[in-house]
Structure 1
Amino acid sequence: MQNAEKGQGQNMNGAELKIGIVQARFNESITNTLFASCRDELLKLGVKTENIDHVTVPGALEVPVALQAMAETDQYDALVALGCIIRGETYHFELVANESGAGVTRLALDYHLPIANAIITTENTEQAIARQVEKGRDAAQVAVEMANLLNTYDDYEDHE
């Protein structure tokens, strides 16, 4: 296979995809915007409203648990993790950022399922606000592109 240059060879058609979204409620003003931006972009990419499942959890550390429950259903082409972790004065920021990120990555590998990680980590609220729309949109694009990519490999295996 040849490497596709950015913008070429990517299948961004979400018409046949089912996407699950897990949103942390902590820093809810940010995560609500992340979700709205992600959902709007999924719809622009052709994902049907009825094929977007959305659940909320208390915080970023709970996101992987909900993602795992969704992955175990084998109903989704891709999942999206949404959250916002803003640095405070204690080590808690590093713990939450590292553990939630590791959990999301491990699930994607264990379940062979694309998970777009849009759990943003910032130094302050202003940085989070500056990134919330773009990161939500990016997560939708990653989910659709990677679902289609992995579905291509699944289709290839089905024909052998």
Structure 2
Amino acid sequence: MQGADKGIAQELDGLGLHIGIVQARFNEDITNALAVACIRELEELGVHDIDHVLVPGALEVPIALQAMAERGEYDALVALGCIIRGETYHFELVANESGSGVSRISLDYNVPIANAILTTENLEQAVARQTEKGRDAARVAVEMAMLMEDLSVGLDELDDEELA
């Protein structure tokens, strides 16, 4: 399997971060593997404050993310799910709506969300991606949480300079 090259990230340090994970149960073997890989990677990156909730399917992920985002306690969130194409339009509907919802929550609440809701043609593709995509979601969450903190501090410094 050939993945996208996202380049080399800065040194990732999750110490002190609070990360929330929303996992869809549909295609549970795959989503459980995503969750295990994600949580292990978060722990390896130093994240110890992890909240993990389960929802029925991918369409329910955004509302759970929204509830977590509204609390204002999380440095980043992670969406985990697996949508496998069937013979109906339902695949497109679930993939598009869940993806749109995840993006909207991130922008509306200014909280980074690593989207690891897999969309695959078949079970074999999902199995091939489950571990690496779970790990990747953890790295994205930590990297984006660190970036948002850096941007926040940078903006505060700019505001202080303007007041001087």
Q: What range is the shorter-chain TM-score in?
A: over 0.9
Q: Using the alignment, how far apart are the partners of 1:37 and 1:29 within structure 2?
A: 12
Query: CA offsets per residue over residues 80-134 of structure 1, 9 Å max, x none?
Result: 0000000001000000000000000111111111000000000000100000000
Alignment-derived partner of residue 150 in structure 1 = 148
1:55 aligns with 2:23: no
| Aligned 8 A contact 1:41 1:141 in 2 | yes
Q: CA deviation at 1:25?
A: 0.2
What does the per-residue CA deviation read over 1:9-63, in whole Å, with 9 as the maximum and x for residues that have no partner?
Answer: x241000100000000000000000000000000010101xx1000000000000
* Bigger mean CA offset, 63-72 vs 103-112: 103-112
**Are 1:28 and 2:28 matched, yes or no?**
yes
Residue matched to 1:7: 8
Q: Partners of 1:7 and 1:29 in 2: how far apart?
A: 30
Q: Which residue matches 2:87? A: 89
The secondary structure found in structure 1 opposite 2:105 is helix
Calculate the TM-score normalised by the size of structure 2: 0.90
Q: Compute the displacement of 1:156 (Å).
A: 2.1
Aligned AA for 1:19? I
Structure number with greater Rg is 2
5+ unaligned residues in a row in structure 2: which ranges?
1-5
Q: How many equivalent residue pairs?
A: 153
Retained in 2: the 8 A contact 1:11–1:149? no
Note the aligned Cα RMSD (angstroms): 1.2
Deviation at 1:71, TM superposition (A): 0.1
Summarize the alignment of residues 115-126 of structure 1 with structure 2, pairs less than 5 Å apart.
115-126=113-124
* Structure 1: segments with no counterpart, 5+ residues: none
Whole-angstrom CA distance in 2 between matches of 1:106 and 1:11: 28
TM-score (norm 1): 0.93
Aligned equivalent of 2:67: 69
Aligned to 2:43: 43
Deviation at 1:153, TM superposition (A): 1.1
Return structure 1 stretches of 4+ with deviation > 4 angstroms. none
